[in-house]
Amino acid sequence: MKTQLRSAFTLIELVITMVILGIVSYFASDLIAQTYMGYNQVNTLHRANLKVETALNSITNRLENAIDGTVVKRKSATNNAIDSIDSAPSDYNVLEWVGNAVDSFEAHANLSGVGVATINQPAWSGFCNIAASTQTTIVTPGSNLSFAQEIIGNLSAGKVDFTNSLVALFFPGNYNYTNIGYRGGSKSGVGLVSAFSQSNRSFTLSNAIDRITEHYKLAWSAYAVVPTNCDAKGVCDLELRYNFRPWRGEDYDSANTPSALLVKNVTVFKTYATQNRVHIKLCVQEKFGVNKTSSICKEKVVFR
């Protein structure tokens, strides 16, 4: 008896096979799509995390060198409302401060002192000889003021030197945010440098400072973190404004104030103070897929 071999599938078998393949393809494509979407979302969150971390580091690295008592918040660029960060209302969304000139403070150079051997001295020492100083002349032993001027000139792209009140001295107990020139206010709390003497290690001030102490801080720029280009949903860019001087009547929103973009697509930028700390919260969203976004928030603390 001979066995007859089949040479092809029946129509029913083909239909069943196609149905099974279709079902498998449907679930496989859905699995692939979900895997891709998951990867895309994770990658988006990673990008957002890097942007938030970079922006926060840029802000906190500068804020760590803020001169105590100068950190303020504003309501907007067109509103004169201003208050200390310790008491500012929550809707004040601009953060501003005067920065200690830490680069020229930490820089050192060999300097031949009067009656001493060549030694390694800071550009400005932060010390004031009260006995040798007056209300308009500040003697600062251990300083290399020529070197300090050179450093500040380089950092400010040649805009700042020790003339015309471009540099200010801050003596503890002599100032707070109300008398350092913010928004055209009083500048009676700071000493405005008009000249210097390298041989005498001294600053000449254009105004008479009320109170001189043994220590001072030197500053040539204020800084501001400003939300800009906000859309109807409150998503903004975040910019850093710098190289402006409140004691000279300069503001962060002046037309010639330099700015740098910190991060885009910011949904939350909040700052507040508790005791000796400044808190900064930043949220950024990133788009992925079609009409989908992922957001990430981080908070950092700066000790004062």
Q: What is the DSSP letter of 235?
A: -
pTM for the model: 0.84
Residue 38, helix vs strand vs coil? helix
Range in 31-40, 116-125, 216-225 with the lowest mean pLDDT: 31-40
Most trustworthy range by pLDDT among 22-26, 38-42, 252-256: 252-256
> What is the domain partition of the chain in residue ranges?
45-71+224-242+254-303, 102-219
Task: Report the distance separating Cα 42 and Cα 152, nearest Å.
Answer: 43
Q: What is the pLDDT of residue 114?
A: 45
How many helical (H) and strand (E) elements, i.e. helices and strands, does the chain have? Answer: 3, 15
215, 206 Cβ separation under 8 angstroms: no
Q: At 183, which amino acid appears?
A: R
Range 118-124 average pLDDT: 72
Which distant-in-sequence residues (6+ apart) come within 8 Å of 165 by Cβ? 192, 193, 194, 206, 247, 248
Q: What is the pLDDT of residue 218?
A: 98
**Measuring CA to CA, which residue among 302, 240, 296, 299 is closest to residue 266?**
296
**Measuring CA to CA, which residue among 243, 236, 294 is closest to residue 270?**
236
115 compared with 98, residue with greater pLDDT? 98
**Measuring CA to CA, which residue among 136, 88, 1, 51 is closest to residue 272?**
88
Average pLDDT along the chain:
87
pLDDT digits (tens, 9 = 90+) for 226-277: 999 999 999 999 999 999 999 999 999 888 899 999 999 999 999 999 988 9
Going by pLDDT thresholds of 50, 70 and 90, the confidence category of residue 2 is low
